[in-house]
Amino acid sequence: RPQNPAVETGNKDTSGKAVKSPVKNAATYSELYALIKSMEEENNSEIFFEDYDNRVASSINENAQAGGSKQQTDNAKSTEDHSRTNTQVQGVDEADIVKTDGSYIYVLTGNQIKIVRVNGPDMKILSSISFPDNTDEGGYSRPSEFYITENRLIALNTTGGICADYGANRKLAGYEPYMFSEQSVTAVVYDITDRSDPQLLGDLGQSGDYLSSRMVGNTLYLISNHHIYNTAEKDSPKTYVPMLYINGEGRVIEAGDITISADPQSRQYIVISAIDVNKPEKQLSSKSVFGCGTTIYAGTENLFIAGSSNERTETAFENPATSSAKPGQTTAITPETTGTNSGKAVLITDVTNLLRFSLNNGKIELAATGKVKGRPLNQFSMDEYDGVFRIVTTVNTGMETVYGSGKNTYVTYTPGETANSLYTLNQEMEVIGKIEDVARGERVYSVRFIGDIGYFVTFRQTDPLFAVDLKDPARPRILSALKIPGFSQYLHPWSDGLLFGLGHDADDTGRAGYLKLSMFDVSNPEDVTEKHKTILDGYYYSEASYNHRAIIVSPERGIIAFPSDNRYIIYTFTGNGFAEKAVFSIDDNAYNQRGLYIGNVFYVCTINGITAFSMEDYSRLNT
């Protein structure tokens, strides 16, 4: 396979042109050590943390569990008429805290995953998979979320903690210095052919905090951020290089599998591994990049990681005490304005570095890198379509000024006005088209790409819903901008030219109010309208506003269901608009709730139990 020129020539600037600082593979561990030590000396700081609060809620009531022989294989027949985890890309699964395959419901509760057989209102806990919490050792260990695929359950378990470090080089007057113990995330794979007796097949892990994951077919892609909090020891690569684990046995990632990003601004690695969950004997492949990354988008062929930072550019001096310039603009310094000729100004701009990994059925390769202005909101800010990568960002700028000298040195920061941008990039991660300076003074609240049309919402006082034509990626153009009160925080394609939005109403000053459901008519992207809306009086919060896996949007069933505060709400939508069908009161916190349906039964799942309701009239079926 030919080498991708983007990796050979390095990052691109925001116009798509090559810049001088190339990414490169690490030749040796010594090269990484030298880089890390230079950053350590440049940013000599101490990190202190309060005690980690590892409170976990109580599990499903064990009294609901009936007896049964573990020798008997439970293989209830599955129904295809059931809901699935709400994901961004078809064919790419995402982990969650509740799953169903149509015959069983799997629930993460505290440090256990319960497997529950369901048949309408009848439910039976068949087994529980427990994970040690390690709190007695001063650390923590807990499953974050999990996958179900055929007869495999894959729990993503995170471990870590802090401990005292009394090294003299870390002393700071008045404080006890601390260091982190090893942090890692592990994919723990179980054979659940017999749901009443799950069998551990193996566990594959890697250093770092769990960032995200995706499942394509039977291949799991696990992504973590490995921070180097502690002192690097030259002769011990494991103190500054990520580790890979197979059933608890660790090894350092090979230097040749590590890439150094063009401009690393923090001492951390991105680690990505591919795992065949049917053969969890070892990682299919693992790669690491020295540099930050926080937001993940994945299709079936490529995985993109976005990491945001600041670019600092010296520019014309601005004296904020006397300047008449608007925030973010500059004016020249003169002796009359400051009494000195010395000084400098630095324009600070948000930028996002992009990494494209080719997946190739688990053979991960860093294929290209790029850069755009601004920061993406979340994974929905990114998309790949017909070989073109699209991204929407909010650009924050500011001016840092330093003037005077000695004791009379002054440093000020003047924030600039926000703006928003959309970029299109080719497979080499070169910018090929862009729209910049959209909706100045506002920021992005939601994004959704549907084919060759992109939709995004910005907000300050009103909610402009922008529709962008992306048929020609080199010449994206705004088709329309619908301005209405409030804003949508989540957008979801419905059907028949409709786009659903979940967000908040707002008053004339931009103050957010109650939750709001909107249905936009996007059949003509040049004339988008809000066809229907409803305000949920008394409801202010929903996890679904920022976590798409917490909402069910089913055009086939005509329902929209999500948690709000300590309730679970179900609405229907028809040509006549939205109608409230059910509101279930729940004792638990909203972020622990999930809803799902199997056949004509709707289940509300919490950390304390599962309740079944008829979808005919939403009456409760079990007590």
pLDDT value for 119: 94
Residue 347, amino acid: L
pLDDT value for 70: 36
Rounded (5°) CA angle 558-559-563: 170
**For residue 424, how many other CB atoms are within 10 A of its CB?**
24
Mapped onto helix, strand or coil, the DSSP state of residue 468 is strand
509 neighbors 521 (Cβ within 8 angstroms): no
**Distance in angstroms (rounded) separating the CA atoms of residues 148 and 224:** 20
pLDDT at 147 over 50: yes
pLDDT value for 358: 97
More confident residue, 477 or 76: 477
Please provide the distance, in angstroms rounded to a whole number, between the alpha carbons at the two ends of the chain: 61
**Listed range (50-64, 341-355, 459-473, 556-570) with the worst mean pLDDT:** 50-64
More confident residue, 108 or 161: 108
**Beta-bridge partners for 523:** none
pLDDT at 55 over 60: no
Taking only the tens place, the pLDDT of each residue in 369-378 is 999 999 999 9
Predicted confidence band of residue 6 (pLDDT cuts 50, 70, 90): very low
Predicted confidence band of residue 448 (pLDDT cuts 50, 70, 90): very high
**Distance in angstroms (rounded) separating the CA atoms of residues 41 and 34:** 11
Mean pLDDT of 185-202: 98
**Distance in angstroms (rounded) separating the CA atoms of residues 104 and 84:** 12
Mapped onto helix, strand or coil, the DSSP state of residue 583 is strand
CB-neighbour burial class of residue 448 (10 A; exposed 0-12, middle 13-18, buried 19+): buried
pLDDT at 79 over 70: no
pLDDT value for 229: 78
Q: Which long-range contacts (CB under 8 A, 24 or more apart) does 556-561 make?
A: 557/597, 557/615, 560/500, 560/502, 560/517, 561/595, 561/602
Predicted confidence band of residue 623 (pLDDT cuts 50, 70, 90): low
pLDDT value for 588: 58
569 neighbors 585 (Cβ within 8 angstroms): no
Average pLDDT of the chain? 84
pLDDT at 18 over 50: no
**Distance in angstroms (rounded) separating the CA atoms of residues 570 and 597:** 12
More confident residue, 141 or 371: 371
Predicted confidence band of residue 591 (pLDDT cuts 50, 70, 90): low
Mean pLDDT of 224-228: 93
Instruction: Work out the percent of the chain whose per-residue pLDDT is above 70.
Output: 80
pLDDT value for 342: 54
Q: Which of 398, 409, 413, 407 is nearest to 343 (CA)?
A: 409
Predicted confidence band of residue 490 (pLDDT cuts 50, 70, 90): very high
485 neighbors 465 (Cβ within 8 angstroms): no
Mean pLDDT of 76-102: 89
pLDDT value for 160: 84
| Identity of the highest mean pLDDT range in 37-51, 237-251, 322-336, 379-393 | 379-393
Predicted confidence band of residue 412 (pLDDT cuts 50, 70, 90): confident
Mean pLDDT of 193-201: 98
Instruction: Work out the percent of the chain whose per-residue pLDDT is above 90.
Output: 64
pLDDT at 272 over 90: yes
**Distance in angstroms (rounded) separating the CA atoms of residues 25 and 255:** 8
Q: What is the CA radius of gyration of the chain?
A: 26
Predicted confidence band of residue 367 (pLDDT cuts 50, 70, 90): very high
* Helix, strand, coil distribution of the chain in percent, nearest 5: 10, 50, 40
pLDDT value for 181: 60
pLDDT value for 410: 80
pLDDT at 67 over 50: no
pLDDT value for 179: 53
Residue 206, amino acid: Q
pLDDT at 129 over 90: yes
For residue 621 the two structure tokens come to 């079926």
| Identity of the highest mean pLDDT range in 162-166, 365-369, 470-474 | 470-474
**Listed range (258-272, 425-439, 471-485, 577-591) with the worst mean pLDDT:** 577-591
195 neighbors 115 (Cβ within 8 angstroms): yes
pLDDT at 73 over 60: no
For residue 604 the two structure tokens come to 């509300």
Longest dimension (CA), the chain: 90
Taking only the tens place, the pLDDT of each residue in 549-577 is 999 999 999 999 999 988 999 999 998 99
427 neighbors 367 (Cβ within 8 angstroms): yes
